[in-house]
Chain A
Amino acid sequence: MTAFIWLIAIVLGVVAFVVLLSAIVAAARAHRTSLVLLNVLLLLGLVAVVVLGRNPFALGAVALMESALALFIVKRTTRNAAHMGGVMQLSAAHCTLLAGSLLFLIPFAWLISTSLKTDEEQAIFPPVWIPTQQTTVAGITNAEDEPAGVSWYLKDSPKQVKVAEIANLPSGRVLVQSLEPQAGTGKIEKKTFEANRSELTKIREVSPRWKNYAEALEFLPPETHYGLTFLGNTLFLTIMTVLGTLLSSSLVAYSFARLHWPGRNLLFVVLLATMMIPSAVTMMPQFLIFRSLGWIDTLLPLWVPAFFGSAFNIFLLRQFFMSIPTELEDAAKIDGCGPLGIYWWVMLPQVKPALAAIGIMSVMAAWNNFQGPLIYLSSPEKMTLAYALQLYQQQHGGEPGLLMAASTLVVLPIIVLFFFTQRYFIEGVSLSGLGGR
């Protein structure tokens, strides 16, 4: 029953929020500053009830009242019913979008937050978002030669004593050193004693554990140079794949689109048909072929096929080439250009947006390729980022801090690339979607 009441209260609260927001928008548009302020106050009141009250009835009642008031303000400040509807709709859309986009970004925040927390904090439930660590004291080192952590020590006496943890003893007790200044002299006396774990409360301060990143890389086999090899391999694969795909696919597409040769249409139908064949069918025989070439545990099987063109990209580019007016080509022909010259100087520049989009899609495919490396690679110095991350997860599944640090390092380059080439990403998706129609 309480659950039900809560649900109703929350729905009412959300509605009130949306209405209040639209009231603010409407008032602002009508240049009624006092009403905007009033609305903001109402909004703050609602938030206060949610944060402080924690009572479904109070929340519901306040929400209802404020909704009514805000609705009235909206009505007063808008011209007519349609206008009012528009404002409310827009506000609702903004609210939904804002909430939705935050929801979609939370996993990223969680990724970063986890990658900066200590192992101790990972176990806290419900989880904490801001990483904290035990405060350390300079000048005093513990058994591991790191600055000693500071805790409150509380036993018998009503006063807490600040102590530095020196060492964990085999008996389960902790060797600590007092940090309190001596009464009277004000000097810190180097007094050590043993304490039970339960008598110590760690003093924490907000501080991300950047060491997770360093440690995550240190755990990698030495021959991978802190994972640089993985990055190098992945970059190499990506560049070769993109080069191969763009060159071969556009060349073949040009031939299919613009040159007249017998058998062209038949072969084009064959090309379309190959798009239907799932990769699973050719996976085993391809493995056997690459094996007979001695290419297992090399990067060759992962990028050489790109130089033979991919059916889908050929199809896409062919559509683009077909749409280019023949006048350009004829002019080049008159100037004495051969087919290769026309392809390179005339046709390619015309389809640059498509090439960029296909290039981006190839980058993504190569960067994220997992099945290929899983089948063909086994030496650590040959591995790619995606595969190395999966292996890392198997080995360090119990250390989320390190694992998430490693994940962040894998995700980061692709996000950075996205921010630089956002337009082509978007175009690439629309392109591949439209091309398949």
Chain B
Amino acid sequence: MPCFSTYSSVFCGRRTRGNVSVQPPIQRVSFRLNSCLRSWQAVLFAVCLLLTSFTHATFAQESGSGSRVKLNVWGLQSGPESAGLDAQVLEFERRNPDIDVSLLSMGAGTMNPQKLMTSIVGGAPPDLINQDRFTIGDWASRDAFQPLDRFLQADKGPSQPVRREDYYPAAWNEAMYKGRVYAIPTGIDDRLLFYSRKMFREAGLDPNRPPRTWEELKEYSKKLTKLNPDGTFKQIGFIPNWGNSWLYLYSWQNGGEFMSPDGRTCTLDNPHTVGALKYMAEMYDMLGGYDKVNIYQSGFQGAEQDPFFTGKIGMVINGSWNVNTIARYAPDLDFAVAPPPVPAERLEGKGRFAGQSPYITWIGGFSLAIPVGARHPNEAWRFIKWMTSGEAAVIGASAQKKFNEEKGRPYVFDLSARRTTNDLLFKKFAPENPRLRTVQKAFIDLLPESKFRPVTFVGQSLWDAHVRAFERACQHAQTPQAALTEQRILVQKELDKAFARETLPIFSFARPIACIVLLSLCGLAFGAARIRQQVGHSRAAQRETVAGYLMAAPWIIGFLLLTAGPIVASILLAFSDYDVLHAPRYAGLSNFHTLFTDDRELIGKAFYNAGYLAIIGIPLGMATGLAIAMLLNMKIKGMTWYRTAFYIPSIVPAIASAVLWAWILAGDPNKGLLNAVWRATLTEWFGLLPPGWFGVADWAKPGLIVQGLWGAGGGMILWLAGLQGVPASLYEAARIDGARGWAQFRHVTLPMLSPYIFFNMIMGTIGALQEFDRVYVLGGGSGSAGPLDSLLVPVLYLFNNAFRFFKMGYASAIAWVVFLVILMLALLQLWAQKYWVHYETDKR
């Protein structure tokens, strides 16, 4: 064993005895170490190591090598259905041999703003992002995207590829913020009224005369609505917010606006919007109320079973994408489209509508933007120019058409935000089906008369606010005026805060950090002096001190860098306003103030949810674990088998377990394993319908608890250890005293296990307050917190603020509140344990 002797000579520096023939005990120990690694363990380890180094090395090399520029694009999803996109990318790569386009198809990108923001803030963003135009204002306001004006300027000339004039004004303006262009629009969608000609005929209406005014729409809706004998809907004429219209459409039709032109004031409760909301509420009332309609609506399905295809609804305002759905699933549907009906005054061009177009719609769609910090902006711009060109559109359309026809589906091209492209595509690829062709034309024709959602950094809040106002007004929880005013105030607060932010003083961390460093240096010097003094002059003691510190160094360094430093930074952050991309500003106590005033409801909800999970989940988990352990403790045959069966679920990765349980506890009552059992038993016997689990607010947390119980076997091992530690003599004594069954459990087992119960309670409480992984998955991913925030837990709230909105200061304030709550609960339990936890050692 030559290698071992060399090692030992390295490690054993002070070898006083020169005689090698006397084998020191150390070597024997080392041989034991070696032989203890059983052969299969060694093989397993070696295989793992080899595999890792192999995969790691080869893939790392691959991604790094090559002279071609790798253009990382997020949000363009390449998949089995994306023949058009694939053809466009291939053609781009053929024409630009120096560029290698990499499409990230893993869900990150478009749907996950947190990932995009983290990558931008972290300095490792994609080169290009396909982003919903509606959010461009938000990203631009945070300086997360680059203005593209310099590229547009450089391309100026007669053959300029990207020109503002070629685009529909609404689409172009939606991608602008504060006078600068932040993204180039790609797709577009507008909204029209789809109506079933078949149902019109059945109701005695003229199928060539769609409703044109709000009053007509109401009247038609009434005629088309039919009830079953039991009072439920057989079919319904029109649901104001089914499809894709929202309050936005009705408000704009009525002349309402949502933001003042300077973007500083929210005007959500202007009289026209109030009027529009009143109209929506009336429509629901006419049908029998929002809730009744909602129940009917919840039975609607997608694809072939779309309610419009199956004759469950006669008219629906929906987007241009719906034409594609119809072409695919209901090509023979007898339907037509018309501009969404408007107030009569607008149609006649009277009053405030004088000189305005009679019909309007609103648009949405995507656009290509270059994040700040992108490594290859020039190549990205070349890709943008290609993807928005008419040529690329034709290539994409022909490839997609070919693909669709091979699958036996008619092809309807996607609308482009570029007017010239639409003209070109319609000439070459207009649907062959005359009905679809007319419909496609109607969608294109109304595009110039479209509105778009205001470009503002509070865009998302405004959207959420308008949805809440709509729901409350239509449910008659509030009057339209009151609902809109309440929501306007909320949005306005956020606006004011953002504008006030600019006036806060810059918070330089340099000074406090310098102070702290100075202080700690003083402390260190003092400590070093003390240590010197204590160690004295003995060489052995000095050596041992040096060795001790050196060996503890990993932790000491780690503590300073990864714990102490961050704690100090976290305190400083809690008093500042910091979004990472801009210099931090001193915010005083405002983070805590917001937490306890405006966001009191949210943080309260988060702690309530954590408390719910803890108070119900922990005892249930403990009881399950203990029950299994007690059964196993009966010296039962096959104990190993049982133990394994109960234990295995607890080692399943939390994410995999959550993914699995999302499928076991399906939200759809006609899906999912547990719902099947429920239907066969509880529904059968008691008439209880299966709940919506993670789809409804009331059942999301119970679902989480059920999922958690599956892992209760992990705790069982601990209980088993505890039970085996209870001396048999105690049970014997109890038996002699006549204690059996429950009495024995109550007076012997429980007190003896109380330290374990206490330990489980403390750990469970801390765990419940730091719950994150499975809630993140079961809440819907990308930071959403389940229906009505029913799965919002403190760390999820913190995570969203920190890594989605990058409010580092605010998130730090939350972190400290979480810490204090944990500390308080732990202290409370520590204090309370005196009264109920029984330690065997106490008696000695």
Contacts and interface: CB of A to CB of B under 8 A. Distances in A.
Interface stretch (A66-74, A103-111, A156-164): A103-111
A123 to B, nearest CB: 8
B531 A339 contact: no
Contact of B648 (A94, A231, A255, A415): A415
Interface stretch (A33-41, A45-53, A370-378): A370-378
Given A3-B686, A336-B16, A390-B655, A380 B104 contact: yes
Contacts of A263: 527, 530-531
Size range of the chain B interface in the assembly: 35 or more
B288 to A, nearest CB: 30
A120 interface: no
Contacts of A289: 561-562, 565-566
B663 to A, nearest CB: 5
A388 interface: yes
A7 B685 CA distance: 9
Interface string B575-586: 000001000000
A17 interface: no
A279 interface: yes
Contact of B685 (A2, A220, A251, A386): A2
Given A7-B685, A221-B106, A389 B655 contact: yes
Given A170-B408, A336-B12, A388-B106, A256 B49 contact: no
A378 B649 contact: no
Contacts of B782: 394
Interface stretch (A131-139, A147-155, A307-315): A307-315
A89 B634 contact: yes
B816 A281 contact: yes
A370 B776 contact: yes
A371 B802 CA distance: 13
B274 to A, nearest CB: 38
A291 B651 contact: no
B8 A259 contact: no
Contacts of B686: 3
Contacts of B772: 370-371
B739 interface: no
Contacts of B331: 170-171
Contact of A407 (B27, B33, B660, B717): B660
B819 A219 contact: no
A282 B567 contact: yes
Interface in B579-635: 580, 628, 631-632, 634
A30 interface: no
Interface stretch (B149-157, B315-323, B455-463, B546-554): B546-554
A126 B566 contact: no
Interface stretch (A178-186, A202-210, A341-349): A341-349
B412 interface: no
Interface in B713-730: 713-714, 717-718, 721
B186 interface: no
A168 B794 CA distance: 51
Size range of the chain A interface in the assembly: 35 or more
A198 interface: no
A64 interface: no
B819 A390 contact: no
Contact of B408 (A167, A343, A391, A410): A167
B371 to A, nearest CB: 11
A78 interface: no
B408 A143 contact: yes
Contacts of A97: 628, 631-632, 636, 642
A105 B685 contact: no
A283 B756 contact: no
A260 interface: yes
Given A256-B552, A282-B566, A336-B16, A433 B756 contact: yes
Contact of B645 (A105, A344, A367): A105
B475 interface: no
B711 to A, nearest CB: 10
Nearest to B679: A126
Nearest to A228: B55
B26 A345 contact: yes
Given A251-B551, A296-B122, A308-B558, A280 B818 contact: yes
Interface in A234-257: 235-236, 239, 248, 251-252, 254-256
Contact of B29 (A102, A345, A380, A383): A345
A305 B632 CA distance: 39
A269 interface: no
B118 A296 contact: yes
B570 interface: yes
A414 B653 contact: yes
Nearest to B709: A104
B644 interface: yes
A15 interface: no
Contacts of A229: 55, 59
Interface string A202-232: 0000000000000000011101010011011
B530 A262 contact: yes
Given A97-B642, A378-B124, A336 B563 contact: no
Interface stretch (B260-268, B414-422, B668-676, B697-705): B668-676
Interface in A260-313: 260-264, 267, 270-271, 274, 276-289, 291, 294, 296-297, 305, 307-309, 311
A201 B105 CA distance: 37
A262 B119 contact: no
B651 A425 contact: yes
Nearest to A339: B547
Nearest to A298: B124
Contacts of B121: 291, 296
B368 to A, nearest CB: 18
Contacts of B673: 106-107, 110, 127
A393 interface: yes
A6 interface: yes
A58 interface: no
Given A239-B52, A308-B557, A425-B651, A296 B123 contact: yes
Nearest to B682: A3
A14 interface: no
B179 interface: no
Given A90-B636, A104-B710, A380-B106, A284 B808 contact: yes
A6 to B, nearest CB: 6
Interface string B514-557: 00000000000001001100110000010011011101101111
A386 B653 contact: yes
B442 interface: no
B759 A437 contact: yes
Contact of B651 (A284, A288, A296, A414): A414
Given A2-B685, A338-B14, A260 B548 contact: yes
A220 B103 CA distance: 11
A94 B639 CA distance: 10
Contacts of A420: 40, 44
A378 B119 contact: yes
Contacts of A2: 685
A350 to B, nearest CB: 8
B554 A280 contact: no
Give 4 closest A-B pairs by Cβ, nearest first.
A308-B558, A232-B55, A296-B122, A3-B685
20 contacts: A108-B648, A110-B660, A110-B673, A236-B53, A279-B770, A280-B819, A281-B570, A281-B812, A282-B563, A282-B570, A284-B811, A284-B815, A285-B569, A305-B562, A335-B12, A381-B63, A390-B655, A395-B106, A404-B660, A434-B721
Interface of A: 2-3, 6-7, 89-90, 93-94, 96-97, 100-102, 104-108, 110-111, 114, 123, 125-127, 143, 167-172, 219-221, 223, 225, 228-229, 231-233, 235-236, 239, 248, 251-252, 254-256, 259-264, 267, 270-271, 274, 276-289, 291, 294, 296-297, 305, 307-309, 311, 314, 328, 331-332, 335-341, 343-346, 348-349, 352, 364, 367-368, 370-371, 374-376, 378-381, 383, 385-395, 397, 400, 403-404, 407, 410-411, 414-415, 418, 420, 422, 425-426, 429-430, 433-434, 436-437
